[in-house]
Amino acid sequence: MSNSENKLHVIINDISILEFDRNKPLPGHQRRYLDQMDITMDAGIKLGKDNIENPNTLQRTQYVANSLVNALFEENYDLGIAMCTYLAKRIPDLLQVKAIGEKGDTSIELVFDRSLEKAQQEQAIEFFKPDTLNTMH
């Protein structure tokens, strides 16, 4: 895994808000916090309008990503960083959390197949065909 693929990026409305480097060690109290999050989610989560008694990994990922984005919209950066840490450590294949919208009306995309750097390099270049010139002869 390249260095850029060992990072989790959180992007809101096309602006990179958080970057988590998975190469950095996590202090013990933060590891315990993540363990407590798992214990809490074991008791069930509310995802949208659904109560899920035994959430699977994807449902947990969606729940934490929603919590992350909501925390950032509310400027609760400590909670946002905690949620980002959970996603980075528990979901190692997750490379980007992309949110579009505003508080209460947000679309969240979980990106597993391309890092932020790779996505930026792959942005399409658009070529526009000039209109046919009308020439009079």
> What are 72-91's pLDDT values in tens digits?
999 999 999 999 999 999 99
Query: Strand pairing partners for 20?
Result: 8
Q: CA–CA separation, 72 vs 108, rounded Å?
A: 13
SS3 64: helix
Indicate whether this model's pTM tops 0.75.
yes
Instruction: Pick 134 or 95 by higher pLDDT.
Output: 95
Q: What is the mean pLDDT of residues 41-65?
A: 94
Collapsing DSSP to helix, strand or coil, 52 comes out as strand
Tokens of 78: 């400590």
